[in-house]
Structure 1
Amino acid sequence: MGASNRSTRVALGISTVSFLLFVIAFATPYWLVTDGRLENPRFTNLGLWEVCFNHFQDIHRFYDTDFTGCMWVFEEEYYIIHDFLLPGFYIAVQLFATLCFVMCLLALPLTLSFLRTSRDDDRYVVLLLTIGTCQVLASIFGFIAVVIFGAKGDSRDWMPGWQHNDMGWSFALAVVGGVMLLPAGILYLVEARRERYKRLNEISNREISEYGDDYYQSQAAAAISAAPPSAPAQPSYFAPEPSRPRRPQPGARLPTAPAQGSIQTDI
């Protein structure tokens, strides 16, 4: 199993929760809502792809069409108010939110493949790097989307009754989900870096253990074979050193050698 340590399990849990939160925010039409203080608000709620009106008419009064109910923002009936309904910042929010959603979708099958991959597999590090990169990019795109919408969504230049328009729970879920994708991606990248250095250390230690002793032994054999037969034997590099004589204790008498030509007796 891929998520075999604590960091990968934490990253998997955070990414799963953040992905679900952002998907809910991406699909629900409650990014901007009215606070309910108006008796008959012309605008009720709006999401990335759906808007709900209540007897709303063209603000320029070019058309007498009355819009009531919830419809897709790109509905053909809304073409007469596209200049009002689809400002530039709203299109930018849709673009960056879609990029975030696409990055999350790309990371989903990679995560499923990662869960079935062993740590010893060569694809393990590649999957960690790819998933982490996708989630970091998704977090950046989602953060840009919520920042733009938070700055422009409830402005007086857009939806009617701007004094009574507030950010809805869908926007809150998008903020939490987009922000939580960043630590999840960073954890994946950190784990990939750690696993890569671990494998490099294992490879270097294995090479030293396999080829280190053979190299020294071959060098010693080559030196012995190159030496002439009459040359004295060279001491081995690994030969034990001769034992040194012990230093006499203080006050002890040193044995004296008998003088040459004298007779040594035991008396």
Structure 2
Amino acid sequence: MGASNRTTQVALGVSAFSFLLFVIAFATPYWLVTDGRLTEPRFTNLGLWEVCFSNFQDIHRFYDTRFNGCMWVFEEEYYIISDFLLPGFYIAVQLFATLCFVMCLLALPLTLLFLRTSRDDDRYVVLLLSVGTCQVFGSIFGFIAVVIFGAKGDSRDWMPGWQNNDMGWSFAFAVVGSVLLLPAGILYMVQARRERYKRLNEISNREISEYGDDYYQHQAPPAAAAVVPSAPSPSTSYFAPEPSRPRRPQPGRAPSAPPHGGIQTDI
């Protein structure tokens, strides 16, 4: 199986937990909520795709329409307050959160395929890199979304009663989920790097072993071959020392007896 060691098992657990948290945050309308101190709040709660009002009327527009209940933010009834309801930072939060969600969805089938792939398969390293890359990019997109919303979500220029608006539990889930995606993706990429170096070492060791066997098989002499003495080379015979011959005796000294079997010369 794919998750056969501790690194991939930890990465799988962290990524599953972070993905679950971000999906819940992506679908629930509690990114911004009222703290409950107001008796009749005009705004109650808001998410990425849904907003809840209670007898809300935009005082900056000359119409008598009042909004009650929870509806989709792109609902046709909200068209007259779209410039108030959908500011630029909110659209940016929706965009980056959607990109994070898409990265998580792309990583999900890749993770399932990774779990069904053996470590000896050629696709094993590619799947590890793919899953890790999707989760790292998803973490970056999600982190940008929560940073933007945390900086602008409870500002006085947006929802009414801003003094009593707080970040909700959906926002907290999004923060934890997007942050945990990063170490999970890094663990996948680290494991892919380990597997790659392991395979390269195995290939190099196999090549060295095969080369060494071939080398010794071709270089080793036959065991039954007789050792034939080689003839001396011309250079060796040329510089071979000649036999010494007796020297001529000096005047006034008696000649020494020649060695047995030797020949004395007197030149």
CA distance 1:200–1:231, shift in 2 (3 Å): farther
* Residue deviations 1:150-181 (CA, integer Å, cap 9, x gap): 00000000000000000000000000000000
Residue 133 of structure 1: how far off its partner (Å) = 0.3
Runs of 4+ in 1 over 2 A off after TM superposition: 215-221, 228-232
Query: Equivalent residues in 2 for 1:77-156 (5 A)?
Result: 77-156=77-156
Distance 2:34 2:51 in 1: 12
Other structure's SS at 1:142 match: helix
Distance 2:70 2:163 in 1: 21
Residue 64 of structure 1: how far off its partner (Å) = 1.1
Is 1:44 equivalent to 2:44 in the alignment? yes
Residue 230 of structure 1: how far off its partner (Å) = 5.2
Distance 1:66 1:81 in 2: 11
* Residue of structure 1 equivalent to 2:162: 162
Query: Equivalent residues in 2 for 1:189-208 (5 A)?
Result: 189-208=189-208
Residue 109 of structure 1: how far off its partner (Å) = 0.2
- Taking only the aligned residue pairs, the percentage that are identical comes to 88
Distance 2:121 2:231 in 1: 55
Distance 1:206 1:61 in 2: 78
Amino acid at match of 1:56: F
Calculate the aligned-residue CA RMSD, in Å: 1.5
* Residue of structure 2 equivalent to 1:213: 213
* Residue of structure 1 equivalent to 2:19: 19
Other structure's SS at 1:33 match: strand
* Residue of structure 2 equivalent to 1:263: none
Distance 1:59 1:146 in 2: 29
Distance 1:22 1:229 in 2: 85
Residue 215 of structure 1: how far off its partner (Å) = 2.4
* Residue of structure 2 equivalent to 1:30: 30
Distance 2:201 2:136 in 1: 28
Distance 1:191 1:121 in 2: 15
Amino acid at match of 2:96: F
* Residue deviations 1:221-242 (CA, integer Å, cap 9, x gap): 7xxxxxx99568xxxxxxxxxx
What TM-score does the superposition give when structure 1 sets the normalisation length?
0.82
Distance 1:45 1:191 in 2: 42
Structure 2's unaligned 5+ residue stretches are 222-227, 233-267
CA distance 1:34–1:218, shift in 2 (3 Å): same
* Residue deviations 1:193-250 (CA, integer Å, cap 9, x gap): 00000000000001111122212443567xxxxxx99568xxxxxxxxxxxxxxxxxx
Distance 1:101 1:229 in 2: 83
Distance 2:30 2:68 in 1: 17
Distance 1:192 1:97 in 2: 27
Q: Single out whichever of 91-100 and 202-211 deviates more from structure 2.
A: 202-211
Structure 1's unaligned 5+ residue stretches are 222-227, 233-267
* Residue deviations 1:66-119 (CA, integer Å, cap 9, x gap): 100000000000000000000000000000000000000000000000000000
Amino acid at match of 1:11: A
CA distance 1:46–1:219, shift in 2 (3 Å): same
Distance 2:62 2:125 in 1: 60
Amino acid at match of 2:62: F
